[in-house]
A and B are shown apart, each in its own frame.
Chain A
Amino acid sequence: MKRRAAWWLLRFAAVGGAVVLIALLVVTTGLVPIKASSGHWAITAWFLEFTKDRSVATHSLAVTLPPREAAWLVMKGAGHYEGGCRPCHGSPGLPLPRVAGAMTPHPPALAQLVSQRDSEQLFYVIKHGIKFTGMPAWPTQQRDDEVTAVVAFLEELPHLDAERYRQLVFGPAPAPSSAPSLVATQCERCHGDDGRGRGSAAFPGLAHQRRQYLVNALEAYARGDRVSGIMGPIAAGLRPDQWGELADHYSQLPSEGRLANLSEAPPPDPARIERGRQIAAEGLPQLGVPSCSDCHGPAPHQRNPAYPLLAGQYADYLVLQLELFKERRRGGSPYAHLMDKVASRLTAEQMRDVAAYYASLQAMDGQTTER
């Protein structure tokens, strides 16, 4: 009895050893085809797909989505999709781009896929990417709000035809642009050909912003000091002299009136604007919050050109920046830390007040005495 068991054990060990040896031999000789051109065997494809689906389903259980009521999130996600996702995943009217078609596995066409996935699964995949597939993680792990914008857009995607997609990404049929080609290819789609951000807080207005601030912002994005998975890669793809070129362009664009006028949002409550005006002018000395206007205007004296102008900017964009400052997730130029303690001491309501005040200002208000 004992001898029989030992005999079987020996046979198993011999077979197992032989299998491992052969596997090592196959890998070492380089016989395994790693080429993408031939695709997967059906069984490999099924196994990888099954593993991936199970992994995403399980890991996305822990995801809590950030709030995504804001209507402009879809537009923000669309703007990024066109530059960051479309080259591989295609878009309505352009199902699978040529190069992506040569990848193994093929990047899926998302319109059909998203209806089979819940929002948390989309969020998980966009934020973390998928190993061995060419799907990258979001370039920063600190901007869940940006990931959420892409989720919001993807959930709209199944309802879009080619024309509606084009409108969402580029806005109403644009006049032939007179802008420099760099602006046309890199910036205009989102920030508008007039530099005013296409009427929603998805994209900040840049027209007539101060040149130094714009250069600093692009440099900070490029170096990763200002944290963004959307603007970071765009800025990092520019040469340093192009930062100046773009800043020249936008700082010289005229910007009269309020950007908020462009948006369809209901006008804010005058009492809110008044509360915001007080905070901007006097700060909240009891809470240790200084005035905003000494650095950001309106104020009669000259101000450091590294401090951005806020007059006429979209309120939701300003609130987002304050929240990011408060959570230490914004970053920025070497001047950005000036805002840390200020934003930390503001409540969500006070942020909305002060943002509503700046959004209500005529853009020129803050720019009367700039150097």
Chain B
Amino acid sequence: MSTKSAQPHLLTCARFALAFAVLPLGKGSTLEPAGLAADRVATLFWVLTIGATVIWLVVVGLALYAVSASRRPQSPRGSSLLIVGGGVIFPTVVLAGLLVWSLSMLPGLLAPAPAGSLEVRVTGYQWWWRVEYLGAEGATIELANELHLPVGEPVELQLESHDVIHSFWVPALGGKMDMIPGRRTRLRLEPTQVGVYRGVCAEYCGTSHALMSLVVVVEERQAWERWLAAQAQPATSPGEALFLEQGCGACHTIRGTAADGALGPDLTHVGSRASVGAGVIEADVPGLEQWLAKTAHLKPGVLMPSFGMLPPPELTALAQYLAGLR
């Protein structure tokens, strides 16, 4: 291939990489567990890996022995022992042991959180997460693409889907759980370390499946309570007139204003979030401006229309208003 034709190709790749570069939203490795369930999953991973390694070493060792053994005839008794012992009994015992041990983990992983635990409903949409904290008096506090949890406490997630099958997965905190339309699934998480963790959709769900991230912030109980109390407040930032004027309220709710749309994410405190568009771009003024102007470009297939036709000063003012909703 000549350099001339290779260059545009490289450029395309670079553009692709840029367009789909992920925001550093938080830690996301299942091998650095920060929750009880993830810890068990990690233990299971290491035990199975070590078990498999041992079996591999023994099998390869036997193969090498068979190749290098002297031509002197083996006793039939010794050979039978080797074949039955190494080929049947050893793997059966090891695999059965691992199976019994890993199955014995399931009840603990599947057990619901104890009554009275924090309950959060997370609903999957193409391609974002609606998050609702279920208050004691039936009141819900709604946000999107972000979950805050108190450290060291079990939490019960109620998982639902609005459209197609999604799968909720925060690798550092726990296992995966499918979100199935018309049905509620549950997942118990119990974070053990303060930190920020990345969640993803783990079931291919359409064009922008790869752009469906979730931020999980684990914090001390007091900080979490302050956060939840702040989220429960109506919006305080002035300047909603422009937002309403463009008709944004047809799809988005901002509590405390006339915007009461139910289609898209609740934006009451959008300025306090790590990102907009489920991990696509930062929720600051430049990020929001980009998001408003090039929505479909940043997130192919998204339901929200781009507002790039608005005059730039209005776009900036809208972005400033939204970023101010903290």
Contacts and interface: CB of A to CB of B under 8 A. Distances in A.
Interface of A: 283, 285, 288-292, 294-295, 299-304, 307, 333-335, 337-338, 340-341
Given A291-B250, A307-B247, A338 B305 contact: yes
A140 to B, nearest CB: 23
B309 interface: yes
10 contacts: A285-B263, A288-B303, A290-B250, A290-B251, A295-B247, A301-B249, A307-B247, A337-B305, A338-B305, A341-B305
Nearest to B252: A290
B110 interface: no
A294 B263 contact: no
Given A290-B251, A341-B305, A304 B261 contact: no
Given A292-B250, A335-B309, 20 more contacts: A283-B250, A288-B263, A290-B250, A290-B263, A291-B261, A294-B247, A294-B248, A294-B250, A295-B246, A301-B241, A301-B258, A302-B241, A303-B244, A303-B245, A304-B245, A304-B247, A333-B309, A337-B306, A340-B305, A341-B305
Interface of B: 241, 244-251, 258, 261-263, 303, 305-306, 309
B258 A283 contact: no
A302 B247 CA distance: 9
B contact patch SS: loop
A302 B258 contact: no
B305 A290 contact: no
Contacts of B262: 283, 285
Contacts of A335: 309
A304 B258 CA distance: 16
Nearest to A291: B250
A302 B263 CA distance: 21
Contact of A334 (B241, B245, B309): B309
Nearest to B309: A334
A234 to B, nearest CB: 24
With most chain B CB atoms within 10 A of its CB, the pick from A290, A340, A341 is A290
Contacts of B305: 337-338, 340-341
A304 B245 CA distance: 5
Given A290-B261, A294-B261, A301 B303 contact: no
A335 B309 CA distance: 7
With most chain A CB atoms within 10 A of its CB, the pick from B241, B249, B250, B263 is B250
A337 to B, nearest CB: 6
Nearest to B251: A290
Contacts of A302: 241, 244-245
Nearest to B247: A295
A283 B263 contact: yes
A294 B303 contact: no
B260 to A, nearest CB: 9
Nearest 4 CB-CB pairs, A to B? Answer: A295-B247, A290-B250, A334-B309, A294-B250
Contacts of B249: 294, 301
A295 B248 CA distance: 8
A287 B236 CA distance: 31
Contacts of B251: 290
B246 A304 contact: yes
A201 B251 CA distance: 30
A293 B306 CA distance: 20
Contacts of A334: 309
B1 to A, nearest CB: 38
B261 A303 contact: no
Contact of A300 (B245, B258, B303): B258
Contacts of B246: 295, 304
A285 B303 CA distance: 12
Nearest to B305: A338
Nearest to A287: B263
A292 B263 CA distance: 13
A291 B245 CA distance: 14
B24 to A, nearest CB: 31
Contacts of A338: 247, 305
A109 B126 CA distance: 58
Contact of A341 (B241, B244, B303, B309): B303
Contacts of A340: 305
A337 B308 CA distance: 11
B40 to A, nearest CB: 38
A338 B250 CA distance: 12
B247 A303 contact: yes
A129 to B, nearest CB: 35
B226 to A, nearest CB: 32
A283 B306 CA distance: 20
A301 B247 CA distance: 10
Given A283-B250, A288-B263, A300-B258, A294 B244 contact: yes
A294 B261 CA distance: 9
Contacts of A289: 263
Contacts of A304: 245-247
A334 B311 CA distance: 11
B263 A295 contact: no
B319 to A, nearest CB: 17
A337 B302 CA distance: 13
Contacts of A300: 258
Contacts of A303: 244-245, 247
Contacts of B248: 294
B250 to A, nearest CB: 4
Given A283-B250, A334-B309, A337-B305, A301 B263 contact: no
B27 to A, nearest CB: 34
A290 B252 CA distance: 9
Contacts of A337: 305-306
Contacts of A301: 241, 244-245, 249, 258
A338 B247 CA distance: 10
A303 B247 CA distance: 7
Contacts of B244: 294, 301-303
A183 to B, nearest CB: 29
A346 to B, nearest CB: 14
